[in-house]
Amino acid sequence: MKFYNHCMPLSLHVGPFSYLEESFVSSLKTTPPGVGRRVAVVTASQRMAERLQRLLATERGLSLFNLRFYTLHTLALDVLRFGGGPLPTVINDELFHERVVEHILMSEDRMDPARARALAGAYRSTLRDLVEAGVAGSAIREHFSELEFSGKEKLDRLMDMADTYRARLDQWNVAGSADVARRAAIAVETDPSLLSTYDEFLYYGFYDLNGAQSDFFRAVAQSAPVTLFFPCVKGSAGWAFAERFLDVNIPWGGARVHSGGAPGASVLGPSSDRIFDPGFVTERVPENTHILNVSGERDEIWRVAKEILTMREGPKPVDWDHMGVVARGVENYSGLVHEIFSAHGIPFTLSDGGPLLAKPAARFALNLARVRGQGHARDVLVDVLSSPLLRADIFTPLAVREARAYLLQAGPRAGFSHLNSPAAQKIPALNELYCRMVGSADGSADTEGAARGEPTQTPFATSGNGWWTHRFWKPWIRCRRFLIH
């Protein structure tokens, strides 16, 4: 069993992600994990963990042993698992928590059911903020019980509700992600040996933590060697805000700080100086730009219609064909545009019909292009099998349901690379899909034809007779014969 000195020194690397990646690789090369040395990498998301894995294994060609990747949430779960107690059932679904709050409002506050249901969402949002901030009702009462201020009774009732809410979840052994982090922090503070499985923790890419997560980080940093890779350029315009975040959330006093990147470097360029300078006076809006305040989507379209009619007035009216309306998305506006523009006599056309990826064919083409490039991404493969464009005579509804059920049970990494496994080949639709994507229609791989640059048949086609390709597929794939026309 390993024993750590209390309040272990923190090593801090600050800089842009390009610098952090180099520092991350260098750190693992200098003291590589291996037999007798285990290292945990903790990232903000699974996507970031996968990026680091590609960096190490594919781009740098490193083979490392005893290196484990976590997110903050999965590390907290592992700590609780090492503690030997019963793991909580993690439920983040807002509807579940709103129903819990609704029941508390009716049972504890004797609130009318209709009113409790209407207010449950607002109360739940407040309680979630309290849990994520790590605010405990007992601490509020201890430090502020003697203070008198307006609204103190409401605050006391809210704290009582928060205590009841937490007690109800603890009784059922149910927790949200913030509760898991809070429990893990308490567990590490009580028994630091829970971290003894690892010799070092590398925290990578964090720029924001809620209260429960920062408590968990502090507990780990005070009990084990920790290196933090923090994405901000020291000396840049945003460094003052990052430094405040570090002061509040990270125990970096006395830390060994390594910085990289030119001071002031930012992907925002000179705009970052304006964003982070509270004394900056904004320039006047150019004369050809008008900013209008509106209330709601209907008011937006109504004001746009009025502006269009204004542009049509005067001695030099703007031609209809020379005017356009640009929106971030048209899903919520299409009905209003028809109604309001027609009422104002404005000719229009919604030529795009909505986002491109909202069209099944475009979505299917994108997923098809991703399948082999993201060999371990199950969701892309499930989307392909869920497309309405698959020919029913090749992929029957029953076979597709069986394939999707198998993939969902196989786990999130059961992507295209998993299809050649013995278990997957027993599923007719998956075997058919795999054979047609890597070989000929009868299941035999046409490697010689592929080497000659001849097209390989697949179970997908377009309504036209064109060809298309993707950089992961060699040679071009002709998409004609096996999709619905």
Question: pLDDT by residue (tens digit) across 307-355?
Answer: 999 888 878 888 988 888 888 777 678 778 888 998 899 998 876 555 6
The overall pTM is greater than 0.75: no
Distance between CA atoms of residues 194 and 417, nearest Å? 36
Question: Which two tokens mark 332?
Answer: 């919520």
CA distances from 344 to 26, 221, 290 (A): 65, 64, 21
Domain coordinates in residue numbering, the chain:
10-86+181-259, 89-175, 296-343, 357-478
Question: pLDDT by residue (tens digit) across 402-457?
Answer: 888 888 888 777 788 888 788 888 888 888 878 877 754 444 433 333 333 333 34
For residue 76, the model assigns a pLDDT of: 92
Residue with tokens 């590490």, as numbered in its chain? 188
Out of 15-29, 249-263, 267-281, 471-485, the most confident range is 15-29
Question: Which two tokens mark 361?
Answer: 């064919």
User: 346, 311 in Cβ contact below 8 A?
Assistant: no
CATH architecture of 10-86+181-259: 3-Layer(aba) Sandwich (3.40)
Distance between CA atoms of residues 312 and 109, nearest Å? 60
